[in-house]
Structure 1
Amino acid sequence: MTLLWVAFGLLLLPALWLLVMPLRTAGTVHAAQRDFEADDRTAQQNVAVYRRRLASLEAALERGEIDRGRFDEDRLDLERSLLEDTEGLQRRPLKSPTAGRVAVPVVVLGVVVASVLWYQHQGAEGDLALHAIQQEVLNQPDGSLSMMVERLEEEAVRQPDNPNVWMALFPLYRDSNQGGKAIEALERLIELEGRQPALLAQLAQIRFFVANRTLTDEVQALVDETLERDPRQPTVLGMLGIHAFDRARYEEAIDYWRRAIAGFDDPGSAAALREGIAVAQQRLGVPPDELETASSQGPGIRVRITLDEALRDQVSEDATVFVVARDLQGELPPLAVTRAQVAELPLTVTLDDTSAMSDRARLSQVDEARVVVRVSASGQATPQAGDLFGDRDAVAVGDTDGEPVDVVIDRVVE
């Protein structure tokens, strides 16, 4: 932290130098202004112009070109004009070049104090302290989970309003089977960050497991609130799948898990759910293709996905496969999304309203769709150079009992 404040001090030096610079140049500027005012002949020039015009008026009066009334009126205008010009040239006496020197250090001090207060309010000093503690424990030979928890708990006392402290404590409590403390940390995090669907989903999940995998009224309320905010929230869908599986409702569990896979960015979590789906299929004793058709809801598209053998060496077996259905005009969000892995190819999947990402965009709303299959080594939903893909335009949306549509992954994203 000392180095941090030294760095801040170094950054303030240029600003302070700019504030002090007027003091260094005040003497020069004062002398230049004094010389300018001493050499200013504007008033004398205005008087000379006045005298020439007055002489012209008197000559015109003597020649009879104007009468006395016109002479008096023009002379009054000349005098008024001279008065106005002279009044505008009056200057206040120059102050000493040392005047106002006290204000400069006051401003400098104000800038320093304001900068420190702003950083303490908006800066990340607390996060830096948190990071330093984590690194210190990790680098200690006798560092342990209990030591990390102890140090973070001390930091939570010092920084009760820092969400990153509670975000770091929650998984440690959860992984060390301290469910009560995990719930308290997560509730505090929700107080600070707001009722975000991802946080509510984690709170529902930890309460679900603490209650021995039971959907208590409290857990159900959290589930309802989360799905109302985000109907595709994968953590909650995965938890509901576990609840259905425990009660031998295997088709329901498979449906929840498939929808959850479409929303997970973590390949490990998606792989675990696929294993659960495989177990549920075994319990049902139903071939995967038959189960897929039975679990579909409404009109949809069955897609058989294969990977061109010429491209298989370009991707790993655990690379993510995105299967997306879009409207032909490209005006709506994706109508249906599901995920798989390269190791599962060739694979047949069913896209229907259970794979929708939003209630506003569903496959049942269109008669035809464009199916895009993309292999992403990074697991990112946004296409990147080097990804593999294949697509099929104008695929009819309807009965999923028929022959699947073939999509071959045979091109590379440039």
Structure 2
Amino acid sequence: MTLFWIATLILVTIACVFIAIPLIQRKANNDTVLRDELNKAFYKDRLSELEEETQEGLVGDQSELIADLKQSLLDDIPEQGKAVEARQMSTLAVLIPSVLVVVLSYGLYAKFGYYDKVEQWQNISANLPDLTRKLMAPAGQGVQLTDQEMQDLTLSLRTRLYYQPEDSTGWLLLGRIGLANRDMQTAVGAMKHAYALEPTDGDIQLGYAQALMLSDDEMDQNQARTMLERLASRDYVDLRVYSLLAFDAFERAEYQAAIDYWRRMQQMIGPNDARYQMLTRSIASAERSLGQGSDAAADSVQVTISLGGNVSLPADAVLIVSVHTADGAPMPVAAARYPLSQFPRTVVLDDSNSMIQGRKLSDLDSLMVRVRVDRDGNVATKQGDWFGESEAVNLGQPVEVVIDKQY
């Protein structure tokens, strides 16, 4: 900030000089000196005229006329006080505009220059190393960035990357922050920059694929799958690669592929890892979706969903499947949300999807299923949504629902 104030002082001084120079020059042209020069020229001309008149005999006493001429010249000399006043006026004529320039420059900057915000921004940028160390602290140390610190870290990173756009690590970190904040525009943009700088780096490829996978654009998702499959074909595969592939396969109802990826992850981490049981539960859920689980027929609901011929679906909608009591009560016993994909499709709901505490889906003897295409992600609003519902069936029987009605 010191350099900033020095620079402003230099600029204001230059402005004052440019204002003062014309005023000084103009005053010099109208100064008393110019008046004296005119009086001297007039005096010399009058002496020449008196000399000619004396030679012609028109003047009797030349010396008396010369004395009167000198006296009139002395009378025309300005008083000392007036000269001092003129110099003072000259000084004020230069000083007042200069003061106005200084006052207006710094006054307007104080009012409209957002000096406090600029100072805050520079302080945040200077705090980048501390924020980065706090972010990268090992898990278990109880160090977690607040929302404000995450915003500060993002701002300071953007500032650094503006001056150092070739820093691929910085772009990668900014992309991960965007993913953590669910800011997909920032995440995809930052990861794209990092990938352009280091296209062969495994961490950057994985981060870019993760960002593209969470994008709403189908082309981005296809590009992410291609990158992940390329990473999965290497001799050493990061566990996160299989995790992303399994998640994507499960979301697209490719349950067998998801099971294969999760089993590979189990082989990599071993049964002693705390994540092993979590993967086992994920595999069991996918098997139930395939109808392979031992209790699938008895304790779950397999729903096959198709679309009516007149249904048009918005690209950003989601699919909501809910299980109700056989009498069609509005409150669902179990429900699940799925991304839109190809139809017809089959989903399976079980006790893990129960909505009412103390009441499981498997407790029902009979039930009915409603399926709705939710356009805005808000289950409370239904206007314009497409839906369908089944007849009452017994628990364990397969259910078919056709989406052909609109609220």
TM-score between both structures, scaled by the size of structure 1: 0.33
For the pair shown, which has the larger CA radius of gyration, 1 or 2?
2
TM-score between both structures, scaled by the size of structure 2: 0.34
